[in-house]
Amino acid sequence: MIMHASLSYATLIQNPLLWAIAGVIILVAFYVRAVIGFGSGLISVALLTLIFPIKEVVPVVLLLDLLGSVLLGAYDFREMRWPELRWLIPGSLIGLAFGSFILADTNAQNLTRFLGVFILAYVCYALLMKPERLPQVALPWGMPLGIFGGVVGSLYGGGGPPIVAYLQMRHLDKRAFRATFQGIALTDNILRAFMYIALALLTWQLTVGFFLLIPPVLLGLWTGNRLHLRINQRTFLMGTLAVLAVVGLKYLI
């Protein structure tokens, strides 16, 4: 496996194999994002960091996720649940501020085991209870889980797990779940972009490299959305847990 390569435009354009590998990873990640509403950041970062430095992967994936959030959010706009966002967004803003500074000053890969334990613990709990029978939490739980999601999002490129747990325990249907997740993701993505620019994590070369990866994002979203519209609610819930379990195992290993 090629190690310590760069996600910059110059490197990708000169190394078609690296570009192709990155493109396949992005396509799969955004296929999953369209099917279950989240996971593109976590999957992309988990796999791309096997080849590229995490401090390049996270900013590029941020831009890709921003594009995905805009497209899916526009498609599902009428399905968004605004009361959930009123609690999730403030918490997420606090969390992403802490996470951005941690990413700038710390090797974030040393913190992945904690995230893996959290994810697997929630998956086991949800399977034991059955996802459709999870207890319904009150709206204010969106604040602490939003904070946790913001920190995770800054460190790993996707704050999915804590927010997924919250939205599942709010018992939203699949379209409302996906739409509401895009609302919080879009807010996080925009603010993280400004923070990454201020902290010199998002450079011009990485930004141009992002444009090379837009086609697999579009293909992944289009094909994944076709499946999302066909699956039933239980399959959707089990799919979210399956993706969480795979990501949790990856972070532990």
Residue 130 tokens, joined: 């059955």
Q: Where are the domains of the chain?
A: 9-252
Whether residue 206 has pLDDT greater than 80: yes
Q: Is residue 7 classed as helix, strand or coil in its secondary structure?
A: coil
Q: What angle do CA 102, 107, 110 make, to 5 degrees?
A: 105
Contact 87, 179 (CB under 8 A): no
Question: How far apart (Å, rounded) are the C-alpha atoms in residues 77 and 156?
Answer: 26
For residue 111, the model assigns a pLDDT of 65
Nearest residue to 33 (alpha-carbon basis) of 56, 66, 80: 66
Handedness of CA 74, 76, 80, 85 (dihedral sign): negative
102/24 Cα distance (integer angstroms): 29
Per-residue pLDDT band at 1 (split at 50, 70, 90): very low
pLDDT digits (tens, 9 = 90+) for 90-136: 888 888 777 767 666 655 555 667 777 878 888 888 888 777 777 78
- Cβ–Cβ < 8 Å for 84, 171: no
Separation of alpha carbons 81 and 251, rounded Å:
31
Contact by Cβ (8 Å): 55, 169? no
Share above pLDDT 90 across residues of the chain, in percent, rounded to a whole number: 17
> What's the pTM value of the predicted model, to 2 decimals?
0.80
> How much is the pLDDT for 89?
85
| Per-residue pLDDT tens digits for 20-56 | 999 999 999 999 999 988 888 878 887 888 888 888 8
pLDDT in tens, 123-168: 888 888 777 777 788 888 888 888 887 777 666 655 577 888 888 8
Token pair 């939205």: residue = 167
pLDDT of residue 70: 93
